[in-house]
Amino acid sequence: MLTMPSARSRRAFTLAEVLVAVACIAILTAVVLPTIQGRLQEAYEDSIVQEFDNISSAVTAYRQDVGKYPPALQYLSALPASPTDACGNGLTTTQIANWHGPYITRTIPAVTYYVIAQKDSVFNLLNTGYNTSAITVELHGADTLTAHDVDLKIDGQAVNNTGGLQWAVNGLATIIYFEIPRKANAC
């Protein structure tokens, strides 16, 4: 005659059952985690590319309206009390009246930099000194792999010192330079 196991004998899992369950979880984690990390890295790189694209479009729209290039990114969201162009010359009242911004949806404060992707700093000043035929946007804080991949997405090649996106390793930090084309020496 068959007897039912007592309630006391089936209260816990056996060691073999626990080990099999832990092994299954470890295998699933080993398979899924790299995929998730890769997708997060790709999304992070895409957010940088999108930020550069938005800034480039906004600078171009500002230039079309005002006739001059902005000296800082904050000009894309609001004009300061005494606005100047990229060369430091004051804007005329006509140029100020032609400002039809904001040109970018993000509010850019009048500070040294603002943060994107929760870890990288975009410097507010637009640099005209690196290249006379471009305005340069600087991003600090990305790692070398990110700079390499973003360069590949923007230029189609991952060469750190040519094209519209350049990057350099400065000590432990990587600086990405995104160049927006302009007429040579134009303000």
Taking the CB of residue 11, how many other CB atoms lie within 10 A of it? 7
Q: Which of 2-6, 18-22, 88-92, 139-143 has the lowest mean pLDDT?
A: 2-6
Read off the pLDDT of residues 37-86 as tens digits, 9 standing for 90 and up. 778 888 888 988 998 999 999 999 999 999 999 998 889 988 888 898 88
Q: Report the percentage of the chain scoring pLDDT > 90.
A: 16
Please state, in angstroms and rounded to a whole number, the distance separating the CA atoms of residues 168 and 105.
Answer: 29
- Tokens representing 43? 């999304």
Nearest to 134 by CA among 69, 78, 67: 69
Going 54 to 60 to 66 to 72, the CA torsion angle's sign is: positive
Q: Would residue 63 count as lying in a domain?
A: yes
Backbone phi, psi, residue 42, to 5°: -65, -40
Q: Would residue 2 count as lying in a domain?
A: no
Q: Would residue 40 count as lying in a domain?
A: yes
Q: Would residue 10 count as lying in a domain?
A: no
Read off the pLDDT of residues 94-124 as tens digits, 9 standing for 90 and up. 999 999 989 988 888 777 777 877 778 888 8
Average predicted confidence (pLDDT) for the chain: 84
Q: By the 8 A CB rule, do 120 and 48 touch? A: yes
DSSP assignment of 67-127? SS--SBGGGGT---SS-B-TTSPBPPHHHHHT-----SSS---SSSEEEETTTEEEESBPB
Q: What is the pLDDT of residue 103?
A: 92
Q: Would residue 98 count as lying in a domain?
A: yes
Number of domains, the chain: 1
Q: Would residue 6 count as lying in a domain?
A: no
**Residue-range definition of the domain harbouring residue 76:** 15-181
What global pTM score does this model have? Answer: 0.77
Q: Would residue 187 count as lying in a domain?
A: no
Q: Would residue 186 count as lying in a domain?
A: no
